[in-house]
Structure 1
Amino acid sequence: MEDTAIPYELPEAENHSFFFIDQRVETRTEAKLHRHDAWELYYVVHGYGSRTAGDTCQPFTAGDVALIPPSMLHRWEYAPESADTDGRIRYLMAAFDHSLVKRCMEAFPEVRNRLAGIPFPTDALKFGPESSRIIRKLLSEMTGMDELERLSAMLRLLPTVFTSPDHTFAGRPMRIERDVRRMQQIAAYVMAHYVHAISLKEIAAEVGMNRSAFCSYFKRCKGMTFSQFVTQYRLNTACELLKHSQKQVSEICYLVGFNDVPHFNRMFKKAKRMSPKAYRNAESIKSP
């Protein structure tokens, strides 16, 4: 895809529980490839073209209703010839953060009874005839509603959106997206816990994998074992402390998660080709 994916923040987030729009625009002004941290429920009223959702591109026509998960790259590209006599297409769209779903489940037992325990989709979905009919009706009614009436309609929409049996696959997150997010999660965990021992079992559980699958996955993505990655992070942190603090080498050893000074010295020398003290001296010479 030649488009650059752009992050997009939904407007009026501070003053509304969700975002609703009845949009009628020229095809060339419709959004480029983008992502946002919200569920997107989209009803094509007039127009046709191709929809990109994650790793999948599918045609769409008037009447289609689809759900795009949070953070998934997507784009609705309308064919110019599908516009009306004024050169415009039309769609209705409701976008809502997953926190809205959680708050509704916490506040309303009726919503919780319908949604508790269901697996929320990670793939984009295209709704079938019956669900589309219900969703089109509710979204169309929202156009003439005030904001409280729209909130009531949203409460009716959520169970249909997330428990609909008649939907088909419309796109999954691209593998590179999943890998980037997962590796960011792993790195964040290491940054928060590197001072202590991190077992393969706990880091695998952190990202929802078993130990064996995690080891294979990490080696494929990083070209090193998780243990090597943690050691590398600890040694890089030690380098920063050697350069920018006056702490003793033995103190730095324990601060970065090693529990044995001779072992720390050996690992440091193996990685940096010099001892911690020699590294500190070399860095002090470089400093003005």
Structure 2
Amino acid sequence: MVFFLPKVDNCTSFVDFCSLSINLCLENLNMKLHLLDRASAKHSSFTVSMNQSPYFLKVWHHHPELELVVIRKSTGTRFIGDSIEKFEEGEVVLIGRNLPHMWLNDECYFEKNSTLVAEAVVIYFSENFLGDGFLRAPEMRSIANLFERARRGIKFIGLPPKLIDDLENLNGLHGFDKTMGFVNVLNKLSKHSRYRFLSSAGFVDSFKEAENENLDRIYAYIFKNFNTPIRSRDVADVANMNASAFSRFFKRIHQKTFTRYLNEIRIGYACKLLMENKNTVTSVCFESGFNNISNFNRQFKSIVGMSPSDYIKLYA
């Protein structure tokens, strides 16, 4: 995975990902990619539903349908492609076809006596939900462009409250009114200029390649051992490759060296420890997998944009 995030969000996102990887066995959370059936019913060209439950589905999955989501209630970590960020109430996200994703609620949602509720309006639809020629019509060019951009996942910023209301109200419409209402929502979203891509272009382009068991073994090994003294050649052995071939392969897939990738994972875990305010900077350095404080400080500043002590003042 390549972390494709704004500088400000890097630590928060690394924190949740590293924390998740460590707790996988404890929570029995399956990070194997699943293909889910999100096809619309025969009597409808798309599906609008109000999902309400104690927490969202804890499954890393994909499906050929696009997914438009409005988070009404709940907080947690959003995994879309190689983007890992916090999510909160009010956000609107469009996920392209077959882009892997998961919404993982905060730990408080899984506590035994929790009364918290995770609530979202979700729309599943295929690109050609109104027919094969739908997107070829000149009037639909901006919507076709929206669907293309959605391949990387889109988070919309500063949507007008009226547009969000229109989106949520689709659940109460039927037939022609529901279809026209949805097309109108898509048209407005396609022309909204404030948005941010979530997953990197490199991840989308390499996703099919990344489905093979070889990379699954690589990721599993890294996330299990990132805070121990692992080397590139150790991971190369797991991948059944020689060291130089593995380095070339890894850099081509992730657009960064294995060392940089490993340091990002370690610094993310360090952020988690610092935010918990339970450890000194020195102990965090060694617990995160670094073997000396000067290298830890240097890597932390390179990845986060500030020193560990400044980070504590800002976020802790």
TM-score, length-scaled by structure 2: 0.50
**Are residue 126 (structure 1) and residue 151 (structure 2) matched?**
no
Does the 8 Å CA contact 1:38/1:70 hold for their aligned counterparts?
yes
CA apart distance, 1:38: 1.2
Q: Per-residue CA shift, 1:69-118, capped at 9, x if unaligned?
A: 11011001112536997432100011111112654345x76x42644667
Q: Shift in Å at residue 140 of structure 1?
A: 1.6
Q: What residue in structure 2 maps to residue 5 of structure 1?
A: 33
SS at match of 2:148: coil
The 5-angstrom pairing of residues 194-213 of structure 1 reads none
For the structure 1 residues 10 and 61, does the alpha-carbon distance in structure 2 shift closer, same or farther, using more than 3 Å as the test?
A: same
Tell me which residue corresponds to 2:129: 100
Q: CA deviation at 1:12?
A: 3.5
SS of 2:159's equivalent in the other structure is helix
The question of whether the paired residues in 1 share the 8 Å contact of 2:40 and 2:124 is answered with no
Amino acid at match of 1:24: Q
Return 5+ residue gaps in structure 2 as ranges. 1-20, 22-29, 212-247, 250-316
Tell me the distance in 2 between the aligned counterparts of 1:164 and 1:139: 14
Runs of 4+ in 1 over 6 A off after TM superposition: 116-119
Paired position in structure 1 for 2:207: 177
Q: Which of structures 1 and 2 has the larger relative contact order (alpha carbons within 8 angstroms, sep 6+)? A: 2
Segments of 5+ residues of structure 1 without an aligned counterpart are 182-219, 222-288
Give CA-to-partner distance per residue, 1:120-162, whole Å, 9 cap, x none. Answer: 212111101126x354212221122224322121110121233
Are positions 1:154 and 2:178 aligned together? no
Q: Does residue 72 in structure 1 map to residue 102 in structure 2?
A: no
Question: Of residues 67, 86, 103 in structure 2, which corresponds to 1:40?
Answer: 67
Letter in 2 for 1:15: H
Does the 8 Å contact 1:53/1:124 carry over to 2? yes
Give 2:178's aligned amino acid. R
RMSD of Structure 2 on Structure 1 (CA): 3.0
Instruction: For 1:183-194, list aligned pairs within 5 A.
Output: none
Q: After the TM superposition, which residues 8-27 of structure 1 pair with which residues of structure 2 at under 5 Å, given as runs? A: 8-27=36-55
Whether the 8 Å contact between 1:54 and 1:72 is mirrored in structure 2 is yes
C-alpha distance 6-34 of structure 1, shift in aligned 2 (>3 A): same
Offset from partner CA, 1:54-83 (integer Å, 9 cap, x none): 011110100011111110110011125369
Aligned to 2:140: 112
Mapped to 2, the partners of 1:118 and 1:142 lie a distance apart of 19
Note closer, same or farther for the CA distance 1:105–1:134 as it changes in structure 2 (3 Å cut). farther
Is the Cα–Cα contact under 8 Å of residues 127 and 166 in structure 1 kept in the other structure?
A: yes
TM-score (norm. length: structure 1):
0.54
Percent of aligned pairs with the same residue?
Answer: 16
Distance between the aligned counterparts of 1:94 and 1:70, measured in 2?
A: 13
Aligned residue-pair number: 179
Code of the aligned partner of 1:7: L
* Counterpart pick for 1:139 among 167, 171, 174: 167
Range moving further from structure 2, 136-145 or 97-106: 97-106
Separation in 2 of the partners of 1:21 and 1:177? Answer: 28
